[in-house]
């Protein structure tokens, strides 16, 4: 792999052993991918926290967070002192909400350990955004900007909606990127890999967030890791929340990291531009039958109509979605046999607190929570057997992770389930 003089100096130890280990990791990673060079980045989304029991035990026995970072982020066989980050780095979601630890079944010792870890992370210059939606809270890269992001739902938003460039990175590659400001130049960093491969035409209107979730889930299954191009969206232009759900769904059922919406997303002013002048490899059509089949698939585990738990906020809710949930809950009560947890970034919760939405949600018996979600934390209210969700991504993962039944529907249907304790959703 070709290294610039600056990169070679980092690899040779000019900036200390941790940076040299990071360069070694990036070269091994890049060679495995067939990358011929690295590219500069000043935008990293990373997971650094050590909230699993194994990592906590490792930190205790080997000497704290430097040891955890050396082993799990740099693949270093010796513990090296970790310097402050060189690049702008924000933290992804965590394993629990520190403000709701008891509710999520997390003990005080773990919370204390986590707080020490967060002190270490902050002292190294990492922003404690703690969300799967960094683009909502101040990390909004520009078109063409090279990034190194973790979290599939954020990656697809970054590439497709913002036109910035990233692959779905892992803890190790972003650990190396934040210390060096480099990431291998391959995959979606290269313009030729960003062009559309599959044409998707529509036989039904895609209007609601739930419609976008169904479309995304179906497309992901069809194209897997290719680049779909959706044509024919001229009315009902999707907002942030709809594209957030669409991308999260497509990256769950498949491994989609990039899509184009002709006339909407920045690299698809026209169909010709979206396909890069090439012919699509395949033609796909999403009509009423496909929508119905996808709804049935997402509701495939739902049998009992009595709902124990409603989880909203996957990916983390926008302030608009919190406003909508608060309006739907105003003057109502969550059923005594049901729980309602809504997840959002902590910065957006501050806004919801100031606007009074948190109070409305809490007054109704629900909870506005941050930093994590049920899938990440593997936590649900005690005794949960049946959940209701407005996220195709969460409906994809939660039954497998927690062994629960799941109903998928609109936000209105989910709030209705929280207040009635019953699933009364209408099939698509
Ligand atoms: Fe975010 Fe959890 Fe969904 S991390 S994307 S809310 S699975």
Cβ atoms of 414 and 393 within 8 Å: the answer is no
331: left (phi over 0), alpha (psi -120 to 50) or beta: left
pLDDT for residue 362: 98
Nearest CA to ligand 1 atom 4: 132
Nearest CA to ligand 1 atom 2: 373
Average pLDDT over residues 143-172: 98
pLDDT for residue 135: 98
CA angle 191, 229, 223 (to 5 degrees): 95
Give percent of the chain above pLDDT 70: 100
Average pLDDT over residues 296-314: 98
Contacts for 192 with CB less than 8 Å, ≥ 6 apart: 276
pLDDT for residue 60: 87
Q: Which of 314, 346, 391 to mutate to test the pocket of ligand 1 (most atoms within 8 A of CB)?
A: 314
For ligand 1, the distance from its centroid to the CA atom of residue 79, given in whole angstroms, is 32
Residue 288, pLDDT above cutoff 80? yes
Of residues 285 and 50, more confidently modeled: 285
Q: What are phi and psi of 316, to 5 degrees?
A: -45, 135
Q: Is the CB of 338 under 6 A from ligand 1?
A: no
For ligand 1, the distance from its centroid to the CA atom of residue 115, given in whole angstroms, is 21
Average pLDDT, whole number, for the chain? Answer: 97
Q: Is the CB of 389 under 6 A from ligand 1?
A: no
Considering the chain, tell me which residue range(s) the CATH 3.30.499.10 domain(s) occupy: 5-191, 299-420
Q: In 275-311, where does DSSP find H-type helix?
A: 288-298
Say which CATH class 299-420 falls into. Answer: alpha beta
Closest CA to 90 of 40, 56, 45: 45
For residue range 80-94, what is the model confidence (pLDDT) as tens digits?
999 999 999 999 999
For residue range 197-234, what is the model confidence (pLDDT) as tens digits?
999 999 999 999 999 999 999 999 999 999 999 999 99
* Proportion of the chain in helix, strand, coil states, percent, rounded to 5: 45, 15, 45
What's the pLDDT band for 19 if we cut at 50, 70, 90?
very high
CA angle 95, 97, 99 (to 5 degrees): 150
Q: Is the CB of 131 under 6 A from ligand 1?
A: no
Q: Which of 45, 47, 92, 93 to mutate to test the pocket of ligand 1 (most atoms within 8 A of CB)?
A: 93
Instruction: Give the nearest ligand 1 atom to 93 CA.
Output: 4
Q: Is the CB of 345 under 6 A from ligand 1?
A: no
Residue 49, pLDDT above cutoff 90? no
* 423 vs 397: CA distance, rounded Å: 19
Q: Is the CB of 315 under 6 A from ligand 1?
A: yes
Question: What kind of fold does domain 5-191 have according to CATH?
Answer: Aconitase; domain 3 (3.30.499)
Nearest CA to ligand 1 atom 7: 375
- 172 to 73, 114, 154, 175, 177: CA distances (angstroms): 4, 20, 18, 5, 9
- 216 to 204, 211, 225: CA distances (angstroms): 14, 9, 13
Nearest CA to ligand 1 atom 5: 315
Output the pTM of the full model. Answer: 0.97
Residue 355, pLDDT above cutoff 80? yes
Q: Is the CB of 22 under 6 A from ligand 1?
A: no
pLDDT for residue 63: 84
Q: Is the CB of 159 under 6 A from ligand 1?
A: no
Number of separate helices (H) and strands (E) present in the chain: 17, 14
Residue 51, pLDDT above cutoff 80? no
């Amino acid at each position: 792999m070709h290294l610039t003089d600056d990169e070679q100096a980092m690899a040779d130890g000019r900036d200390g052993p941790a940076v040299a280990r990071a360069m070694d990791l990036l070269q091994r990673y890049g060679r495995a991918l067939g990358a011929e060079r690295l590219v500069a980045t000043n935008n990293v989304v990373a997971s650094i926290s050590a909230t699993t029991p194994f990592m906590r035990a490792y930190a205790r026995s080997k000497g704290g967070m430097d040891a955890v970072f050396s082993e799990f982020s740099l693949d270093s066989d010796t513990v090296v002192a970790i310097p402050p980050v060189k690049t702008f780095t924000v933290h992804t979601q965590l394993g629990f909400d520190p403000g709701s630890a008891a509710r999520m079944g997390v003990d005080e010792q773990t919370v204390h350990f986590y707080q020490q870890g967060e002190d270490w992370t902050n002292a190294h210059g990492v922003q404690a955004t703690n969300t799967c939606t960094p683009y909502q809270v101040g990390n909004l890269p520009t078109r063409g900007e090279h990034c190194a992001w973790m979290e599939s739902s954020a990656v697809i938003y970054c590439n497709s909606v913002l036109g910035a460039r990233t692959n779905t990175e892992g803890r190790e590659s972003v650990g190396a990127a934040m210390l060096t400001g480099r990431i291998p130049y391959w995959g979606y960093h290269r313009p030729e890999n960003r062009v559309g491969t599959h044409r998707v035409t529509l036989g039904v209107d895609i209007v609601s967030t739930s419609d976008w979730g169904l479309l995304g889930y179906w497309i992901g299954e069809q194209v897997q890791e290719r680049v779909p191009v959706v044509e024919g969206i001229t009315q009902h232009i999707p907002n942030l929340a709809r594209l957030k759900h669409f991308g999260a769904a497509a990256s769950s059922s498949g491994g989609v990291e990039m899509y184009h919406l002709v006339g909407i997303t920045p690299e698809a002013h026209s169909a010709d531009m979206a396909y890069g002048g090439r012919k699509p490899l395949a033609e796909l059509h999403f009509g009423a039958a496909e929508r119905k089949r996808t709804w049935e698939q997402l509701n495939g585990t739902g049998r009992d109509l009595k709902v124990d738990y409603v989880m909203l906020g996957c990916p983390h809710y926008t302030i608009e979605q919190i406003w909508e949930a608060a309006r739907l809950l105003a003057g109502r009560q969550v059923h005594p046999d049901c729980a309602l947890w809504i997840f959002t970034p902590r910065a957006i919760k501050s806004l919801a607190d100031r606007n009074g939405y948190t109070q409305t949600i809490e007054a109704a018996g629900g909870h506005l929570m941050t930093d994590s979600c049920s899938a990440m934390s593997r936590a649900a209210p005690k005794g949960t057997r049946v959940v209701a969700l407005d996220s195709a991504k969460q409906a994809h993962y939660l039954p497998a992770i927690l062994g629960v039944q799941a109903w998928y529907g609109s936000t209105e249907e989910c709030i209705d389930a929280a207040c009635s304790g019953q699933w009364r959703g209408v099939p698509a």
